[in-house]
Amino acid sequence: MAKWLQSGRRRDMCVLLAAAADGELSGQRLKTRLESRYDTRIEPKSFYGALDALESAGFVDHREDGIADKYSLTDAGQRRLREQYEWMRAALGDDD
């Protein structure tokens, strides 16, 4: 298993990107949704460091959209997230 999935924050970032209605989120929107999930503020340096690590590993892409950067999962990111989901489902005994 790749180290990117050993980080709960990175996993959750990927989940939020996968759940995005149009398949992408701005960095700020992603950060806000993650902070809402954790019910705490996340330091921007820490957040963007995790996002950069996902991008460097080839699991997240970004594009510029005006003044905002938009992020989305790559095929590799979607595949790894699906593998994580299947592992969790099996571990919890959810065969549905």
Q: For the residues 21-30, what does the mean pLDDT come to? A: 95
68-84 residue pLDDT tens: 999 999 999 999 999 98
CB distance 58 to 74 below 8 Å: yes
Grouping H, G, I as helix, E, B as strand and the rest as coil, residue 16 is: helix
Whole-model pTM over 0.85: yes
Rg (CA), the chain: 13
- Examine the pLDDT at 14 and tell me if it is beyond 90: yes
Question: What pLDDT shows up at residue 4?
Answer: 55
Q: For the residues 23-47, what does the mean pLDDT come to? A: 95
